[in-house]
Chains A and B, each alone.
Chain A
Amino acid sequence: MIRIEPRDAPSRWWTIGVPVASALIALLLAAIPLMAAGANVFEAYAQMAKGIFGSKFAFTEMLTRATPLIFTGLAATMAFRAKLWNIGAEGQLYLGAMAAVVVGTGLIDAPSIILIPIILLAGAAAGAAGMAGPTYLKTRFGADEVVTTLLLNFIILIFLQMMLEGPLKDPMGMGWPQSEPIVDNAILPQLMPRMRIHSGLIIALVAAGVAHVMLSKSVWGFKLRAVGENAAAALHAGIGVKRTMMSAAIVSGGLAGIAGVSEVAGLRGYLTTDLSPGFGYTGIVVAMLAGLSPIGVVISAIFIASVFVGADTMSRAMGVSSYLADLVVALSLICVLIGGFIARYRITRTNKGGQ
C-alpha cells in the first residue's frame, strides 16, 4: 500500500530546485512532439536559444514579452497569497488599458512626468475596481471568485469591443476597431533606440521589488499571509480578514491594470482587442512556477517569455508549429505542480495491511 505523508520541512533546496527541474523536464518532454514532427531536436533547441540570445534584438524582444507577464504574475501572486483566486487578470488588464486610453488620448494635456503617473494610476484604479467587485461578492455573499473573475474576463472583452466600435473608436482608424493613439506625452519611454523594449520593464521590476518587501516586511504583508495561510486563526487573532482580502484584491487588480497600461502606452500606442494574447492567464502559470514569490515571478516570467519568443523563431526556422511554446509552458506548470507535491509530501510504501 502506498501512503502519502507530509514532509517535516521542505528544504530551501527544494523550493528553488523544484521549479528549475520542472522547467528542464518540461523542455525534455517537449522533445517528444518535436521528434514526432520530424524535426532534429538539437537543432530545434539551438534555434530556440538563438531566438532568445542570438542577437540584441532577440534578447530585448524576449524582455519586452516578459514585461506584461511580470505584472500579471505579480497580480496572481498577491491574490493567491491571500487565498483569493483571481483568474480575472486578463479582464483587469483590459480595464487598465481602457483607462489608459481614456485618459491618455487627449483628455488631459500635461508633460510626461505628470501624464505617465496619471495613466498608470488610472489603469491601476480600473484594474483594482475589476477585482474589488468579485471580492466584495465573495466576502459579503460567499460568491466563488474563481467563477466571477473568470466570467468577468469575457464580459470585459465584449465591453471592450463595444467601446472600440463606439465611444473609443479612432475616427482616423479607417474603420478598424481600434482606439485613438496615446498622446506622445503619455508614451512610456523606450529603453534602447530602434528596439521595442520600453520602461514598462523598469516599472515591472520595481513593482516586483516593492511587492517582495511589502509581503515579507510589512504589517500588511503579515496580515495577507496570515489570512491566506489560515483565515480562521487570523480572524481569531483579531486580523480583519475581509478587509485584508479586499486590500489584496485591490493590489492584485491594480497590478493587472498596470500590465494593460504598460502594453498600450509602452508597446502598441493604441488599443485593440488583441492587445493581450492571454497575458492574464499566463500570469497564473508564471506565479505558480515562481512558487508565489514576487522575485521568483521575474525569473519565471523571463523563462516563459523565452519559451514563447524562442518557439516563434524555432517554428519559423524548422517549420514546426509555434504551439509548441504553449506545450512547454503547460508542461512546466504540470511539472511544477507535481514537483511541489513531491517537495511537500513523502511517498512511502508499506506492506499491504502491514503494521
Chain B
Amino acid sequence: MTNTRVLSLNNLSKRFGSVVANDAVSIELHRGEVLALLGENGAGKTTLMNMLFGHYLPDGGSIDVADESGDMRPLTLGHPQAALEAGIGMVHQHFTLAENLTVLDSILLGSESLLAWRHKRKAARAKVGRIMQRTGLTVGLDEQIGKLTVGERQRVEILKALYHDARILVLDEPTAVLTPQEADTLFENIGAMTKDGLSVIFISHKLREVLAFSHRISVLRHGKLVGEIATSDADERVIARMMVGADTPTTPREAMAPGAPVLALKTTTVKGDSARTSLHAVDLTIHAHEIVGIAGVSGNGQSALARLVSGLATPDSGELLISGKPIHRFTPPVMQKAGVGRIPEDRHHDGIIGAMSVAENLVIERLRDSDVQKYGFLQQNSIRSHAQDLCKDYDVRGPGIDADARLLSGGNIQKLILARVFECMPDLILANQPTRGLDMGAAAEVARRLLEARARGAGVLLISEDLDEVLALSDRIIVIHDGQLHEAHTNDREAIGLMMAGEQA
C-alpha cells in the first residue's frame, strides 16, 4: 500500500425528502488499498456508493478521482458514464447480468458499439484471459450466465469492471450471497488485484471478514461518518461499538409487571424461499404490559416473523396463540379480529393506499363496522367526521382528510397508520421498523404511543434494525439471526451487536 490518493469523497450529502441518507461524508481511498465501509442497514453505505457511481446526484459535496497519471480530477456527478470513464467499477448486491448471454458477451456488453463488436471479440478474449490470469478470477468464457453459480456470476461482474479498466472497484455486500468458501476465494482474488494497483471499497456488515481482509475501516451511522480506523488497530468490540453508537437516548418509562401472554409462538416454523422469509422452530412469548424488541441485521427472518403475525404467512409447523387462543387460519382479517394491530415495515407499500384519501385510509381495516357502512354503502359523513377526530388526536398534518394519502410526509403517514391501529385497542401490536426514516419528532411520537399502549395493557412486538430504539423501548430484547431467536439477557450493546452478527448464540 502506497500513499497515493486515488479517490476522495468530499462532504457528500444526500437527503430523500426529510430523511438524511448521507450527511457531509468524506472518505479517501489510496492506491492498492482495501477499504471496508461498515454500518448497520440504513446507515447510508449504499447511498454513498450510488453517488460515487453516478446513480444519485448528491445534494452537496464533490468527488475527485485520480486519472491514469495520478492527478486528481473532479468527477462529473450524477452520470454513471462519467464514473465508468474515470475508472470506477461497481458490483451491485443484486447482479445485473442477462441469463441468456455467454460470459464473454456479458463482459463486452455495453463496452463497445454493437457494430464493431464482432471484430474485437478476439482481442477482447485475449484481454479477459490476461485479467483472469493475473487475478485468479477464472470462469469459462463461453458458458451461459444462466448456468453459472452465484459465485461465478459475481466473478463475471468483477471481470466486467476490470475489463472496463476499473482502477477503483466498489463491491456492495459481496459475500451476502456467497458460501464461506466462495467468500474466502473472493478475498484471495481481491488480494491479488490490489497488488496490481487496484483499489477496492467493499460494503459489509460482517465484522469477521472486514477484520480479516481490509486495510482500513470507515464506519457510517445514521448517514454520518462516525469513525475511521486502521484494521490493524481494530477488533470486533471496537467496531461493534462504532457501528451501534454509544449514546443511549432515554425515554421515560415506568417498570411494569407483565400480565397474561398475548402472543405465544410454540416451535413455529415458516419455510420461506430464503433466510429472509424463514423462521426455524422459534419460541416466543409476549405478555400484556410488555414490549419485546427483536434486534437483528435485516434479512435474518424478521419479515417472516412479521408476515406470520400479520396473517400474511402460514406456519409450516408449530403453533401460534393470540391471547391464549390458537390461530388456525392465517389471514389479515383473522388476526385483526383476534386483536392484533399491525404497523407494517414498508408503510408506503403495505400501509396506505396512496391514491385514496386520508379518510378512506383511516377506515380501510374497518369496512364491516356499522359506522363505516350501511347496507354496503359507505357512510361518508361519519367516515369524514371520524377522520377529522383521528387526525386531530394523532396530529396527522397534511392537505386535509379528502386529499390523497400519498401527499402526506412519511411521519404523517406513520401517524395515520398509528391512528388506525391504536383506535381499535389491539391486545398485541406488531410494530415493524416503526420509526425507520422518520424525523426525531415523529419517532418520539411513535415511541410515546407504543409506551402508552403498553401501559394500557397491550403487548408489543417491536421489530427494529435500530438497536438504539430497541434498547430504549424494550422490556426484553431478543436477537434474531438466521431465522432463529435468541434471548439477550443483557442490555450491553456490544454483546447484542455481536449476537446480531451471529458471533455467539
On whether A220 and B376 interact (CB within 8 A), knowing A229-B355, A233-B349, A233-B353, the answer reads yes
On whether A218 and B310 interact (CB within 8 A), knowing A225-B356, A232-B350, A238-B336, the answer reads no
List the A side residues contacting B79 at CB < 8 Å: 353
Bound complex: CA A239 to CA B368 (Å): 11
On whether A217 and B77 interact (CB within 8 A), knowing A236-B332, A355-B59, the answer reads no
List the B side residues contacting A137 at CB < 8 Å: none
**A353→B76 contact, CB < 8 A:** yes
Interface residues of B (CB under 8 A from A): 57-60, 76-79, 82, 310-312, 331-333, 336, 342, 344, 349-356, 360, 364-365, 367, 372-373, 376-378, 380, 399, 403-404, 407
- Does A120 lie at the interface of the complex (its beta carbon under 8 Å from any beta carbon of B)? no
List the A side residues contacting B82 at CB < 8 Å: 353
On whether A9 and B404 interact (CB within 8 A), knowing A218-B377, A233-B352, the answer reads yes
> Binary interface profile of A, 231-242, with partner B (CB < 8 Å = 1, else 0)?
011111111000
Contact of A238 among B78, B332, B349 (CB under 8 A): B332
- Does A226 lie at the interface of the complex (its beta carbon under 8 Å from any beta carbon of B)? yes
Q: Is the interface of A mostly helix, strand, loop or mixed?
A: helix
Contact of A236 among B77, B342, B372, B404 (CB under 8 A): B342
Q: Which 7 A-B pairs have the closest CB atoms?
A: A238-B332, A238-B333, A229-B355, A230-B353, A237-B364, A236-B350, A353-B76
Bound complex: CA A239 to CA B58 (Å): 41
**A226→B364 contact, CB < 8 A:** yes
Interface residues of A (CB under 8 A from B): 1, 8-9, 217-220, 222-223, 225-226, 229-230, 232-239, 353, 355
**A9→B403 contact, CB < 8 A:** yes
Bound complex: CA A226 to CA B362 (Å): 13
**B376→A218 contact, CB < 8 A:** yes
List the A side residues contacting B356 at CB < 8 Å: 225-226, 229
Min distance, Cβ A164 to any Cβ of chain B, angstroms: 41
Bound complex: CA A8 to CA B312 (Å): 32
List the A side residues contacting B353 at CB < 8 Å: 225-226, 229-230, 233-234
Min distance, Cβ B42 to any Cβ of chain A, angstroms: 21
Contact of A219 among B310, B336, B377, B403 (CB under 8 A): B377
Bound complex: CA A229 to CA B399 (Å): 20
List the B side residues contacting A229 at CB < 8 Å: 353-356
Bound complex: CA A353 to CA B331 (Å): 49
Give 14 new A-B contacts, CB below 8 A, not counting A223-B367, A225-B356, A234-B353.
A8-B407, A219-B377, A222-B364, A230-B355, A233-B350, A233-B351, A233-B352, A236-B351, A237-B364, A238-B311, A238-B333, A238-B336, A239-B364, A355-B77
**B365→A238 contact, CB < 8 A:** yes
Min distance, Cβ B131 to any Cβ of chain A, angstroms: 31
